[in-house]
Amino acid sequence: QPDKVWSYEFGAKGKLFDGLITIDSALYWIDWSDIQLQSTLNGVATLTNGGNARSKGIDLGIILKPAQGLSFQAIGNINSTEFTSVLPAIVALNPLAAPGTRIPNVPKKSLNLSANYAWSFAGWGGEGFVTGGYVFRDEQLDSTGLVSDELNEFSLRAGVSKDNWKLQVFGENIGNNRSALVAGSLGLQPNFPRRIGARFSVDF
């Protein structure tokens, strides 16, 4: 049967100091009922309506623009998400779905940081840009009990553009931090290793 969700959110968004700082924040509460839970019965994977859960947390985003063309951004989330009730038959098949345990595949914390600078070339008409970023995601639990790794990645991009074309060089996962993004009964899903390259694009 379909699951059901009631979601309550209170948020605020505004600018301070003549636009120097922009803040976007939200508190939320989610009641989730008739969750479709995965279990294994005699070696066969099954889905059953078997539980209810509650999630509460906070989202916060801050943008700082100290100078023309320069901006810094931070976006984060902290949450508490757990089962509130589960059918005893489901718990017997999968103890990880017992009341009070955390819902699978939901990290407790996440954070995105970025810095951007863009400028114009006088007399040429083109624009240049430099962007740096950092991504963090907390470990998360699989429905079978396996735990994924934390994700920590740095990236950097720089390039120029004019009219309908853009040329950029990039480095992704610069620290070559190897992580298992998903750890499950069918194996591991790793993140991409360090990638360095260049891209050229044209809009027609």
Q: How many residues does the chain have?
A: 204
pLDDT, tens only, 92-112:
777 777 888 888 788 899 999
Of 151, 162, 174, 85, give the one whose Cα is nearest residue 125.
162
d(CA 197, CA 168): 9
Helices marked H in 57-128: 88-93
pLDDT, tens only, 112-136:
999 999 999 888 889 999 999 999 9
Q: Which residues pair with 155 in a beta bridge?
A: 133, 172
Between 82 and 146, the more confident residue is 82
Average pLDDT over residues 86-92: 80
Between 55 and 1, the more confident residue is 55
Residues of the chain with pLDDT > 90: what percent? Answer: 56
87, two tokens: 């059918």
- How would you write 122-160 as a 3-class SS string? CCCCCEEEEEEEEEEECCCECCCCCECCCEEEEEEEEEE
d(CA 97, CA 71): 43
d(CA 153, CA 173): 5
State the DSSP H helix or E strand holding residue 50, giving kind and residue range, or none if neither. strand 44-67
* pLDDT (0 to 100) of residue 190: 81
Residue 143 clears pLDDT 70, i.e. is over it? no
